[in-house]
Every structure is written in C-alpha cells, then in structure tokens.
Amino acid sequence: MGTRLRPLTLNRPKPMIEVLGIPVIEFVKDAMVAAGISEVIVTTGYRGESLAQLVESWNHNQLAAWVNEEKTAMGTAGSVKLLEDELKETFVVGSGDTLASFDIAALLEEHKNSGAMASMALWQVDDPSEYGVVGLSNEKNGEIDSDLETGWIAKFQEKPKPEEAFSNVINAGLYILEPEVLELIPKGEKFDWSKQVFPQMLELGMPLRGITISGLWFDIGRPSDLLAAQEIVLRGRDQLWSQIPEGSNEGYLSPNSKVEGVCEKSVLLDGCMVAENSVVSGSLLMSKAVVRGEVTLRNCIIGRNSIVEAGSVLDSCIIGDDMVVPTNSRWTNRRLPDNANQ
C-alpha cells in the first residue's frame, strides 16, 4: 500500500510509483527477462487493477505474463503458495515495490552450482538498522564471517541497532527457490519469507545460500527515497536492464526559471511545465505537472497532472495526482490531499 508515500499511493499501488517515468516493478521484470525467464506472474492486492493493465502489456513472443489477484492479503510467501500448481521447477520470487536491476542470470547459476534449496540476493548498506541483516558462513551451519559477500546463510537479524549488527549485508527481497520449499508454507495462511520460511529452513538444516549482488537496488519507501532514486537511476543508467525512453525525463522550463537539486534533468518528467521566474530545487515533477509563475519549490514531489498556482512557496510537500495548490500558498511539510483516506 506504500502508506509512507501517500498521497501518491492513494490511487495506485507502490509498484506503480514511477522513477524517471518507469513504474518500479518494470525494473525487476526487465532484469528477469534479461536472465531468460519466459513466464512472469504478478501477485496483486491493493489497487491491483492498474497492475493488471500494465502486466497485460508485457506479453510478447518471448514472455508470457499474467496476474494472480489475492482475495485477502496472504503475505510474501502465502501469495506464492497460491501458485503451487504452477511452480514445478526452479523459480524466482522478486519484490515489485523496490527498484532492482541486476544480473539475475548470475544468481541462478550460483544457486544451481551450490545445490541450495533457496538462494537470497543480498545488498550491502552503510546502515543496516532499517533492514533484515543476513549473516554468512563459508560452511553450512558454520561461524559467521562478516567479510563474506557470498556464502551459506547462518543467521538472520531483524532491524538491529547499528552497534549490534553483525554484518552490513541485507535481504534484497529477491529469492531463487526450489519447489520443495513451498511445502513449508501452510495453505490458506498468511506467511512471510523472511520472518517465517527462511528461519524455519535454518532450523531444519535446509541449505540456504546468500549472494551479494552488484547493479542497482534501492528501497523507495519514503518520499526522500523517491527523490534520491531519480539521481541514482540516472547515474547508474549503464547498469540498467530497463531502457529509459529518450526524452522521458524532460519537461518544459521557461528561460527565466531555474531548476536545481536532484540531478541534471530528472526533476521534470515528460509534459511538465515550469513558468516564468520560478525556482524548483531538489524536487520531482511527475508527468504533466504544471508550475505557474513566481513559484518556489524545495524538496517537493508534485504528482501527475497537478498544478501549483502562481506565487506559491512549498517546502517539503507532497502533492498527489490531479491536485491544485491555490495561488500564493505558503506550505511546509504538507500533503495534498490532507486526508489519507480521501
């Protein structure tokens, strides 16, 4: 549901939030296709209808894609259990709400060569306190070696204090699994991979591999993350499996206005307009957003088709899709619409 990104997620699920005009779920899908995966199933819940339309557009000669809609939320593992009859060989599970673009084919090769029942993509971070930390060992059930980037998973640690973390590698939310793992998930019950299935595998002594990835991985859980993601994707453009369409990150800027901050061109997506004598700093304008004259925006996100009327000064605000900010507004840390249930 992406509640921390509201109001941007009031009318769309978090996987449909765009980075440089591309829904984040497209990045991991493209990485899967590049790895030779020929069938993609998207499990949906909240606002799933918009995902269904996108997934339908993925179908072509090399890829079959379809949606399985959950009647009730079944958790990250429970939703996959619903597809048990479809999953009879090695399969990949990825999170559609994180920006991920890396070499999945290399992960598949490491998984098959290791003989693991499950393999987890890992990512290195400076501060692991907001994530699930993974401890690796050179041997199954061995001692944790915090310097390892690939090895057998020996321990999990959920959101530790920085001084208590035994590693800086975290669960990146992409798994390669053998069908037998599904037997650990009870039918009809809400179940989670990282909180329930993988700890159970460790208790049972089932081989669980951890592989640190290179490429791009980014959590866009908060507005500041979404702002930062634009720059990260532009910098890492050469590492992407997704192709960013030419001109998809450029809008119209009046000669007497000024854009600065996030990165060179990512602040204005296609169809945007910034009028005379306005300043846009460290902000993101989504498709067809309009900024009238004499406006100042600092660290803001302006949703699709929204208008900021003349003379307004906004600081750290999030404006949802199809909204209008009245003339001469002076707002700080405000979200429009204000009612998250609206």
Task: Determine the pLDDT at residue 12.
Answer: 83
Residue 261: pLDDT band (50, 70, 90) is low
Contact indicator for 317, 330 with CB cutoff of 8 Å: no
Cβ-proximal residues to 86 (8 Å cutoff; 6+ apart), any chain: 41
Contact indicator for 98, 5 with CB cutoff of 8 Å: no
Q: Is the pTM of this model over 0.85?
A: no
Q: Compute the half-sphere exposure of residue 219: CA atoms within 13 Å on the CB side of its CA.
A: 16
Residue 249: pLDDT band (50, 70, 90) is low
**Domains along the chain with CATH numbers:** 3-239 (3.90.550.10), 252-336 (2.160.10.10)
Residue 240: pLDDT band (50, 70, 90) is low
Q: What are the pLDDT digits (tens) for 277-296? A: 888 888 888 889 999 999 99
Distance CA 174, CA 179 (A): 16
> Which helix (H) or strand (E) segment is 316 a member of?
none
Beta bridge partners, 298, equal 281, 315
- Residue 164 above 90 pLDDT? no
Distance CA 164, CA 53 (A): 44
Q: What are the pLDDT digits (tens) for 167-220? A: 788 888 899 999 999 999 999 889 998 888 999 998 898 999 999 888 888 888
Percent of the chain's residues with pLDDT above 70:
90
Distance CA 141, CA 188 (A): 31
- Interval 302-321 mean pLDDT: 93
Task: Determine the pLDDT at residue 109.
Answer: 92
